[in-house]
Amino acid sequence: MPATAVLRQPSRTLVITAAAVPLALAVLADDVRVRRQLHAARRDPLSGLPGRDDLTACGARLLRTGHRDRVYVMLLDGNGFKTINDTYGHAAGDAVIAATGRRLATWTTRRQAMAARLGGDEFALAAVLPATTALSDITALREHLQQPFTHDGQTLHLRMSVGIARATDLPGEDITRLLHAADTAMYKIKTGTETFPYLATHDDAHTSTVNGRRAGRPGTHLPAA
């Protein structure tokens, strides 16, 4: 190879590399943008919270971290949400859901926890909590969520039924079963069968379902598809 060609070779490589850097940065930026879009798409636009899939993934991780004795799963269901919608309109109902989402998100930022909106006025939580203060922490959260909301000059009240499943009480059960147990516990509180705070039992985790739903849920009266 002529000496001039040898001298030019490093220079050409440098030019090619320099040209590739902006392209690589553009690809990286595009990848970050897509990831953010996908992350945002998984979040409920009204509450700002993730959905069931992200919650179950988070709960499964918490159960694998060695903190099982401190993992708590909660199902939260609003009491009086339909009345708010019927009395003040759907915009008021949307405001309640949004405010509840913000309150739950704030609570989780200070803990190893995730909150999700399952649909309607139903939410769920998976959290690692100190065994000595867990029930008082959950009680304080429930009271905080029940603080009045203000919308368009109206003061709105939403009560919360909260069911709790403590992983240490249900050895060997996965996050799906814990969610089912918390759901059953919540329904017992909502109907007055048990009083808050009630911890789900093995029987609660294994209650029968109708069309894949806990008996008493909307839609359980419909024939299975």
DSSP state of 149: E
Structure tokens at 220: 């359980």
How many Cα neighbours within 13 Å face the side chain of 185?
27
Q: In Å, what is the CA distance from 174 to each residue of 17, 61, 185?
A: 50, 11, 17
Q: What is the DSSP string of 58-73?
A: HHHHHHHTT-GGGEEE
Q: Report helix angle 175-190 to 52-64, nearest 10.
A: 110
CA distance 218 to 121: 13
Q: Which of 69, 86, 94, 121 is catalytic?
A: 121
Q: Say whether 121 is catalytic.
A: yes
Alpha carbons 216 and 198: distance in angstroms, whole number: 19
Structure tokens at 86: 């019927």
Positions marked catalytic: 121
